[in-house]
């Protein structure tokens, strides 16, 4: 699939670039674990949540809301799922990585066709803020390489299972999930809401 840059105008509907020096937290991100295969996700890592760093995101990005700082590390080349939160998310890494994104407004009858998804390369050390109306999931590496991606979200997001029969897409706290039938999440009971190809970069 075609891979755009977050500097391309097509990215504007999905998120924005955050200016500033993030070298301190990116240095701490280097010391987070990397699995041998697959991905690991940690919603909140105290080592990343140093007082000054936490205050920067809470005060300057989230308008005083309490946040959590974690990571998604590993190896991935496929879409597999798309999720959204009722809040924005900040991502950045020490290496280039790819995000496959979609728009909440392209969901029809609780289904999203993957032909409407777009891939964006995020350059190393560039911070992006993904809007709450943007569907997203695990990052993808460049040409099969590994990644360690910082994930900043409002405190409490993704930390507790919230599956119920009233909303098939609700998967965890502040996390609505659409799985592809080929994904591991689908085999675990996630709502199969992605139509079309399980995209790969």
User: In this structure, what CATH number is given to the domain that contains residue 74?
Assistant: 2.60.120
- For the chain, the domain total comes to 1
CA atoms of 32 and 21, how far apart (whole Å): 20
Q: Strand 67-74 and strand 112-113: pairing? A: unpaired
For residue 82, the cross-strand partners are 178
Query: What value does the mean pLDDT of the chain take?
Result: 97
Give the residue with greater pLDDT, 94 vs 163: 94
CA atoms of 139 and 76, how far apart (whole Å): 7
Encode pLDDT of 137-154 as tens digits.
999 999 999 999 999 999
Does residue 92 sit within a domain? yes
State the sign of the Cα–Cα–Cα–Cα dihedral 14, 116, 187, 161.
Answer: positive
Whole-model pTM over 0.95: yes
- Domain span at residue 130 reads 3-78+85-158
Does residue 201 sit within a domain? no
Does residue 133 sit within a domain? yes
């Amino acid at each position: 699939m075609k891979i755009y840059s977050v500097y391309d105008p097509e990215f504007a509907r999905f998120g924005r670039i955050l200016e500033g020096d993030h070298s301190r937290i990116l240095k701490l991100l280097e010391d987070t674990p990397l699995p041998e295969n697959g991905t690991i996700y940690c919603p909140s890592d105290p080592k990343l949540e140093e007082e000054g760093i936490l205050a920067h995101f809470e005060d300057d990005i989230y308008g005083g809301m309490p946040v959590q700082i974690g990571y998604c590390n590993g190896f991935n080349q496929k879409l597999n799922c798309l999720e959204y939160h009722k809040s924005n998310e900040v991502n950045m890494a020490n290496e280039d990585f790819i995000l496959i994104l979609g728009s909440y407004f392209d969901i029809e009858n609780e289904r999203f066709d993957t032909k409407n998804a777009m891939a964006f390369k995020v350059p190393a050390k560039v911070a992006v803020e993904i809007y709450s109306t943007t569907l997203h999931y695990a990052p993808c590496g460049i040409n099969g390489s590994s990644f360690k991606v910082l994930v900043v979200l409002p405190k409490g997001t993704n930390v507790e299972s919230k599956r119920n029969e009233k909303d098939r897409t609700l998967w965890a706290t502040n996390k609505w999930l659409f799985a592809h039938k080929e994904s591991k999440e689908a085999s675990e009971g996630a709502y199969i809401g992605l139509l079309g190809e399980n995209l790969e970069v």
